[in-house]
Amino acid sequence: MPFIDAKHLYRKMLETISKSPMQIVTKHKWPVVFVLAGLIVGLSGFTAIQDAHAQFGPLGNLADPSKTNEIHCAQPMTPPGNGTFGGSNAPCIDTGDTTFMYAAAVFVMIMTPGGVGFLYGGLTRRKHSLTVMLQAFMVYAIVSVQWVIFGYSIMFGPSADPVGFIGNLDWVGLNNVSHNAPADVYAPTIPHLAYVMFQLMFAAITPSLAIAGYADRVKMSAFLIHIVLWTTFIYDVAGHANWSFGSQGTSLGWLAKMGAEDFAGGTVIHITSGFAGLATAMFLGRRIGYGKAPFEPHSIPLIILGASLLWFGWFGFNPGSAGFAGFLETQAFQNTNIATAVAAIWWMFLSWAHTGKTSAIGAVNGAVAGLVAITPASGFIGTWASIIVGFACATICFYCVLIKNRARIDDALDTWGVHGMGGVVGALLTGAFSEVRINPYGHNGLFFGNPMQFVINSMGAGFGAAWSFGLTYIIWRIQDAIWPGGVRVTPKEEEIGLDISQVGERAYSGFAE
């Protein structure tokens, strides 16, 4: 029998115990990843079985068509709720509304990997462009999973508290979310699952917009985790406050209860992402060489392509937020287009006045600012007010970008100046120009005899900005403290380019960096 060195064995045990959990995980990261993946897949399988039972009843009934007929046309809803149109009974599912919402969802989907991906990819330098495009692509994939598991439940589910701060877990894994019946308070003429898919597209694009604030600087591993944390603690919370209608008789979101108006996400999407980008840029600090070397966009054609896809997708973004095909989506469609066109033209003229040159990037920035600002207002205001929105947002956002540049804050792709402040402009002007004549479900604004609406919308915008800025900064602080080497790439990796150092591939194989 071989001799066992007890002292050596004892020293090995002490060395193992003295290692931090992070060191152990780092050394054995791939076995840990595979074990976790196996557990997740296994758990998902069991959950899927339970979920199917919760949605459709006993599995043995699935083959019986009578057990899966559409539940609509004044039949009792299960679970019972305080239905928007028909008390506790469900209205008819309308095939036209359902088709319209599917089309709108598809329009919005392409905005994240296509619109944001091409726009931001073109705005960055060549050695980072693939990374930014991949990040936009992966945001959609990550949020799709988060949304189904728990994101939709905590944002749109029944309120977990009497204030309406956050949703409960009744709809985790889309439990109690039917494919053959509408929700009790959301878009009641389409299946509930269709509404889930439409809102997923909004949840996905929001964190992708914030990429602009940390472009060229963050490790891919830190980015992937940050998306889950940010979507959960910032987007879902802000969304519940503004858009929760109190399913199953629970409390409305606290801002919705006050009467805040945000038709398609000026506060929930653009203010949160814009101020998150600002917080991130301030936390990470400037890119190497900022202010010393020219950081010019590597592909203006890609920028114009991305902006065009965004403009196209916004015709699903805003009109689809009506939740049905009819008068409200028609007004939102018109408002979206005219505000964007005015803002693109006016920003180009502002840039021309300052530099003596028309600017393609300036026209794109103006168009995006117009899309952002009209988002909260599109279903509440008239056409002429939309023209005012276009002029106002282009002017304010243009000078906010100049202020940011003079302050040497390296918000690389202007997410704060365009999205953050564009969202603020839109929220305030919604409170000024909203009309019950346009939207009978809304309120008159400041210029139509109700100054309190302007105050309420200002409070909503202030909450969105403060919540997003503060919590984003805290999340990055915590991640940076526990991440091996911090969340920022090394100077050498940044100099080489994130395409090579993080992704291991080049956007353009024929070019050397």
> Per-residue pLDDT averaged across 66-92, rounded?
50
What pLDDT score does 42 carry? Answer: 67
Q: Report the mean per-residue pLDDT for the chain.
A: 87
Burial class (CB in 10 A: 0-12, 13-18, 19+), 312: middle
User: Which one has a higher pLDDT value, 24 or 415?
Assistant: 415
Give the confidence band of 54 by pLDDT, cuts at 50, 70, 90.
very low
- Return the SS3 of 87: strand
What pLDDT score does 185 carry? Answer: 85
Q: Are 207 and 218 in contact (CB under 8 A)?
A: no
Helices (H) and strands (E) in the chain, counts: 21, 0
Q: How far apart are CA 318 and CA 320, in angstroms?
A: 5
> Per-residue pLDDT averaged across 193-201, rounded?
96
Least trusted range by pLDDT, from 49-58, 364-373, 470-479: 49-58
**Three-state secondary structure string covering 237-266:** HHHHHHHCCCHHHCCCCHHHHHCCCCCCCH
- Percentage of the chain lying above the pLDDT 90 cut: 72
pLDDT at 57 over 80: no
Q: How far apart are CA 94 and CA 101, in angstroms?
A: 11
pLDDT at 75 over 60: no
Q: How far apart are CA 376 and CA 77, in angstroms?
A: 31
> pLDDT tens-digit profile of 225-280?
999 999 999 999 999 999 999 888 889 999 999 999 999 999 999 999 999 999 99
Domain ranges of the chain: 91-503
Nearby residues of 2 by Cβ (< 8 Å), 6 or more positions away: none
> Per-residue pLDDT averaged across 202-211, rounded?
97
Helix or strand holding residue 303 (H, E): helix 300-317
pLDDT at 35 over 80: no
Q: How far apart are CA 214 and CA 186, in angstroms?
A: 35
Neighbours of 23 (CB within 10 A): 11
In the chain, the amino acid numbered 131 is T
Q: Which CATH architecture is the domain 91-503 placed in?
A: Orthogonal Bundle (1.10)
Structure tokens at 179: 């494919």
Give the confidence band of 63 by pLDDT, cuts at 50, 70, 90.
very low
- Rounded to the nearest 5°, which phi and psi values hold at 289? 85, 5
> pLDDT tens-digit profile of 174-196?
988 888 778 878 888 888 999 99
Which pTM was predicted? 0.87
Nearby residues of 310 by Cβ (< 8 Å), 6 or more positions away: 111, 115, 116, 119, 367, 368, 371
CA-wise closest residue to 345 among 353, 426, 330, 306: 353
Q: Is the dihedral of CA 289, 290, 292, 296 positive or negative?
A: positive
> pLDDT tens-digit profile of 388-422?
999 999 999 999 999 999 999 999 999 999 999 99
What pLDDT score does 85 carry? Answer: 43
How far are the Cα atoms of 90, 190, 249, 277, 324 from residue 81, in angstroms, in the given order? 9, 16, 6, 38, 20
